[in-house]
Structures are given as C-alpha cells and as structure tokens.
Amino acid sequence: MAIGAVVNALWDLRAKRAGQPLWALLADLSPEELVELVDFRYLTDAITPDEALELFRAAEPHRATRRARLEAQGYPAYTTTPGWLGYDDEKLARLCREAVDEGFEQIKLKVGGDLDEDVRRMGIARATVGPDIRIAVDANQRWDVDEAVTWIERLSPFDLAWVEEPTSPDDVLGHAEIARRIAPIPVATGEHMANRVIAKQLIQAGSMSVLQIDATRVAGVNENLAILLLAAKHGVRVCPHAGGVGLCEAVQHLSMFDAVALTGDLDTRCIEFVDHLHEHFVTPVDVHGGRYWPPTAPGAGTEMLADSLDTYAFPDGPAWVVVDTETVPDAVRVA
C-alpha cells in the first residue's frame, strides 16, 4: 500500500501535466506502452506479455466508439448506502426506495451478525425494491467455510446478486470451496488482496466470479493494470471496491480505462458507490442516475482540499510537512 500511494501520486502528476483525466491518459496509450507498464513476474502461467498485447490490440480499433458510449451513458454504479447493519426497519426501507428512485439497479446489504435478523432484513429490502433490482450481500469476512454455506443457503431465496467476502480474504481455497458449494450464486472478493499474485490465485482456483479491485490496496495503477489483464483473459468480471474515503474518486479511472481500452464491458460490471466525504476532494466524483460519469478534470481525482487536510490532520496541526532536502541522505532524497 505504501508503494501504491507513491505510484498513484506519480500517475496523478503525470495526468495533470498531460491535462487529462487519468482514465483518458491511460486509454490513449498504445498497446505496446500499456504492456510495458505491467510487471509480469509470477504471472506468466496465467497471462504472458504477448497475450496481454493481443488483448490491448484487439480493443484498440474500438476505443473511440467505446469512449463515446462511456461519455454518453456513464458507468453503472451500485450503492451500499441502504445496507449498513444497525439501521431500523423504516430507515432500511426508506434508503432502499431512495436508491431505486435515484436510478441504482443494484444495492448491497451487510450481513453476518445474526442469521434470523439477516433473513428478516433481506425480506424487507426485497419487498421494497421488487424483483428487478439486484441485491448483493457483504459478510465482511465473518464466516468459516461451513458457516458461510449454511448462511447463504438461508439467504438464497432472495435472489442474491453476489456474496461478498464470505470468509478470510487471505483464504484462497476457502473461497473456492464456498464458491463451489453455493453455485450458481456468485462469490465476490478481492478488495483486501495484497498483490497481483493473490489475484492470479483467486482466478486460477475459481475462488470468485466477481473480482473487486481496490485502487490503493495493491501497488498502485500499474499492478491494478496487471490484475485487470488477468481478469480479462480469464473472463472474470471486475466490480471495484469503493467503500472508503476517496476510493470512488480513484477507482473509477481504472474501470473507465478498462471500458475503453480493454474489455469494453459496460453491461455486466459496476462500481461501488458510498455517498460520504466527497466534499473533501478538489474534483469529487459525479454519480447520478445510478451511473458514474467520466471525470474531465486532469489528474487521478484523489487531490484533497487543503482546508480539509489542515482541519482533520492527526493528532493536531497542519498536514503539510516541509523536508530540508539538504539534510536528507542521497539514497532517500526525493526531488
């Protein structure tokens, strides 16, 4: 994550210097330039540089059409807002209605606290949104394998869009066993995976059918490009995690790049949306009508307002640090 912070910051700077939003900058690179960005070490049993180049070249003639579609239609979003544990029944139903009224075609509920309570809450949500709105559930790593299967069997009558993080995010084989036993209900995971190698294993083991990349959890844009390639080659849909401060702003660029320059998929994929704290960003995400709308401002969207940084610095005082580069050893000096 520390490496990712630096890599993402450098991409933000490059996009600003180019006067482009990050998604467009990436989508304008040649297939050869894109392949050069990816470290294929430990991946070649799952995807090779030549295979990656073929994927990018196959998409290249369609970039203009795909970009026009993205700009005209936006990118599908789903919302986690209605589903937090602890809401009373009235609030759950109200937030579900509001999500549908706002154009979202999928919502997500947190589960895993109490089975009977989860069944009751799912009943309220399904009755409120009707049969045509997808409902996913997120267990946030609560269960062991057998417990997960039992819990999901009880929730399955509600037509689950997916079951997210049913067990430890590090348990590749546990996820695979759950996925096998609850099929055809999809398993979604990946927001806590540490690197592209874990992504490869999740895909190879059949541990999930929805891969949830995170813009900051791995080593930045470059490693996420590797993960997008792995998913594209093996037919796994990517629906990113965005349940954190600034993650909506950041991860939209990766999905939109994929929509233009890799898979072109705007029909089976969606990006999570959580409606909080966007007011602290210079270019806050634009989500309306149940869609993410492509940012046009230069950069990666992750620059926070100076006042917010100063106000909320921890423990106290300004968030800015001035380094005297004359006193920093050459080995660690950053220009």
Using CA atoms, how far apart are residues 287 and 164, in angstroms rounded to an integer? 23
Using CA atoms, how far apart are residues 123 and 314, in angstroms rounded to an integer? 42
Distances in Å between the Cα of 54 and the Cα atoms of 48, 49, 62, 87, 225 are: 10, 9, 14, 48, 15
Q: Which two tokens stand for residue 22?
A: 């990050």
Q: Report strand pairing: 210-211 vs 237-238.
A: parallel
Catalytic residues: 110, 241
| Cβ-contact 260, 253 below 8 angstroms | no
CA neighbor of 31 nearest in space, from 12, 3, 55: 55
Distances in Å between the Cα of 159 and the Cα atoms of 149, 163, 210 are: 15, 11, 16
